[in-house]
Structure 1
Amino acid sequence: MTIAALAGCADPTRTGVSGVETSSPPTTATHEPRLVDESDRPLVAFDPCLDIPDDVLVTVGYDPKSEDNADFAATHYTMLGCSYDGTAIIPGVAAYGLTVMSANFDWTIELQKVADNGDNVIPTEILGRRALRKTNHSLPESCGMSVETSYGVLIFAQVLFGKAGARVPEAQWCTGLEDTAERIVAVLDDVESRTR
C-alpha cells in the first residue's frame, strides 16, 4: 500500500538554464496559479505544492520528497493540492499521509459540503481564522480540517493506516493535524499579506 511516491509539483515558471547557475534568495513576488477555472472566483493565492517550505513539512513529520500532485481541475472552481507521506513513528500506525488542498470556493460552500457529507464537525480557530475539524465514520482512520482564507478555503486531510490490518482507534484519527494546520497557516498568512 502506497500513499504517495511521486514528486508531482514543479514551479512552472522555471526554465532550463545553460552554463553555471547561481543560487539566489527566494523571491517574495506572487506566482501565477498552476490552474485557473472559468468562473469569476478569486485566484487561488496559496499553492501547497509551491508555497509550503520543506522545513515546515519536515517539522510536522512529512517527507517533502514524497510530494504528489493532488490538483482537482474543474470549470467552476479551482483546487490546488499536494500529498505527502508521513515520516514519524507512531505506535499502532503502519503509515500515514497528508493532503493539503487550496480552493477558491467560499466558506458558505464549505459548510454546505460538510453538511452534505454528514461529517462530525468541531468548529475551532487556527491562528484567528474560522476552522472546522472533521471526521466521518464512513471514512475511518482519517481526519480533516478546513480553514477560511482570503480567497476561499484551505483543506487538510490526514489518513492513517493501522498495523497488521488493525484499525487505528478513533481517538488518534486527528492526532497532530491541528499543529500541522497551524504551521502551514502561518505560511499562508505570509503569502496572503504579500498578495493584498
Structure 2
Amino acid sequence: MKAFKALLAVLAAASLAGCASATTGPPAAGSTAVTASQSPKASESSARQQILFDPCKSLPREVVMKAGYDPNNLEPSDFDGGSYKFLVCDLSSDMYSLGISSGNISVTEQQAQQKRDSPTKVVTPITVAGRSGFEARDPSRPNMCTLAFQASYGEVLLTRYQREKATDAGLDVCDGMQQTAVTIAAALPVGRRAPA
C-alpha cells in the first residue's frame, strides 16, 4: 500500500496546487505522513472543515465485511498537507486492496486533479447514495480504479488495486466499486468529529 499512499500524497498536493491562489500558495514540499495513533487535527486553514470520519476507527466490522474485506487487517495512517488532511485506511482481500481516504478537500478539487493527472484518464460523474462524485480510470494503469464522493466536510476517496488473482479471473477493477462506496457512505457519521 506504499504506492497508494504515495499516489494519495501526489494527487492531494497537486490538486490543491492547481487550485491555490496567490495568497495561499501550494502546499509545502515537505508535507509528511504521520501515524493514525495521533489524534486528528483541525486543518490549519479556516477555509477547511474538520474531518468527521476516520475510516479505520469509524467503519463497523460488518460494513468492512459487507464490502468484501477483512476487518482484522486494517492499516490506518493519515496524511497532513498543511491546509488539508486525509485520514486513510488500507484494507485487503484476496482479489483487491482498497484505500479509503477521508479528506477535507472537495470532490470538485479532486476531480479537476484527476483530469490533470493523466491526459488519457476517463473521469465519469456519478452519484453515490445521493452524493455527487466521480469514478476515474486510467488506461495506463488498468489495475487501478478511483472513486470519490461528497461528504459534509469534503470527500471520501476510494482507490482500489486489483490483485493478480482478480486479473486472472477476468474481473474488471471498477466492478462493484459503486456498491462498495454506497456501503461506506451509509456508515458516515453526521455532525460529530472523527474519533481521537
TM-score normalised to the size of structure 1? 0.72
Cα deviation code 1:123-169 (max 9, x no counterpart): 110111101011112322111110011111110111112249x6775
Identity percentage of aligned residues:
28
- Partner of residue 179, structure 1: 179
- Partner of residue 133, structure 1: 135
CA distance in 1, matches of 2:133, 2:109: 14
- Partner of residue 50, structure 2: 43
- Partner of residue 11, structure 2: none
5 Å-filtered alignment, 1:108-187, equals: 108-118=108-118, 119-163=121-165, 172-187=172-187
CA distance in 2, matches of 1:34, 1:186: 22
The number of equivalent residue pairs is 160
SS of alignment partner, residue 82 of structure 1: strand
Kindly indicate whether the alpha-carbon contact (under 8 Å) linking 1:141 and 1:167 is maintained by their aligned counterparts in 2: no
Larger radius of gyration: 1
5 Å-filtered alignment, 1:71-90, equals: 71-87=78-94
SS of alignment partner, residue 63 of structure 1: coil
Structure 1 gap ranges (5+): 13-32, 88-94
CA distance in 1, matches of 2:175, 2:149: 17
User: Displacement, 1:81?
Assistant: 0.9
Residues 167, 129 of structure 1: alpha-carbon distance in 2 compared, 3 angstrom cutoff: same
**Root-mean-square deviation (Å):** 2.8
User: Displacement, 1:2?
Assistant: 10
CA distance in 2, matches of 1:72, 1:136: 24
- Partner of residue 60, structure 2: 53
SS of alignment partner, residue 125 of structure 1: strand
CA distance in 2, matches of 1:177, 1:42: 26
Cα deviation code 1:36-74 (max 9, x no counterpart): 332111000111111111111111210111111242121
- Partner of residue 192, structure 1: 190
Structure 2 gap ranges (5+): 5-34
Kindly indicate whether the alpha-carbon contact (under 8 Å) linking 2:126 and 2:132 is maintained by their aligned counterparts in 1: yes
TM-score normalised to the size of structure 2? 0.72
Residues 173, 37 of structure 1: alpha-carbon distance in 2 compared, 3 angstrom cutoff: same
